[in-house]
Amino acid sequence: MTTRITFNHFTLILTLFFWLYIPFKVINLYQSLVPRKGFIESVEKSGNRIPSYYFKLKNDNNTYVNNGNGTLSLFKQEPKPNLHCTFSTSPDEVNLSQIPTEIFYIGLNEQNKLIDCYYYVVRKGLFTHLTTILFSFILIVLNIIAYNRSKKKLYWYCFVICLLQFFLFMLL
C-alpha cells in the first residue's frame, strides 16, 4: 500500500509550515540575542510617520538604528541621550562591531523585544516583506481550492486564518 500525498494534504502541510515558520524564526532570534550596554551619547529621530531612531554610545563608533517598520513601532519607547541603556543585537551583527557601521538594535531597555524580533524577521527588506505577503495570498487561493474540492470545514478555517494573516501582514 503506497501513500500518496494529495493536493489537499499538500495544501494543509504548506499552510501549517507557513504558520509556524515566522514564530519559530522569532523565537530562535529571541533566544540568540547578544546583550549590549552603554550610555547614549546622541539620538537622531527621522521625520517619518513611524520614526526611525539612530543613536551612538559613548566609547563606541557604531550607530545603532531601529527603523520604524510598522504600526507596532508606535508603541515603543524612544531613546533619550545621556542615559544608561541596555539592548540586544542579532548574532549576525556582532562581528560588525569592529567596523563603524549601522547596527539594528532590538529591545531598548529590555522592552518590546518581541516586536523588534518580529520586524527583524519579517521586514528585513522590501523583497522579504512582499514575498511573505505573496506567499500568504497563494495560501489563501490554495485553501479555497482545497475547500471547494473536499468541502471539509478544516480547509475553510485555514482559508479564514490565512485571509486574516494576509491582512495583518499588509497592516503591520
Q: Are strands 63-66 and 34-45 parallel, antiparallel or unpaired?
A: unpaired
Mean pLDDT lowest among 35-39, 100-104, 143-147, 167-171: 100-104
Residues 6+ apart with CB under 8 A from 27: none
CATH for the stretch 33-111: 2.40.50
**pLDDT (tens digit, 9 = 90+) per residue, 129-166?**
788 889 999 999 999 999 998 888 999 999 999 999 88
163 three-state secondary structure: helix
Nearest to 141 by CA among 7, 2, 3: 7
* Res 48 pLDDT > 90: no
- Dihedral of alpha carbons 153, 158, 160, 161, sign: positive
**pLDDT (tens digit, 9 = 90+) per residue, 80-89?**
777 788 888 8
> pTM of the predicted model, to two decimals?
0.76
**pLDDT (tens digit, 9 = 90+) per residue, 51-73?**
777 888 887 778 888 776 667 77
Residues 6+ apart with CB under 8 A from 99: none
Question: Could you state, in order of their start, the residue ranges of all structural domains in the chain?
Answer: 7-28+126-171, 33-111
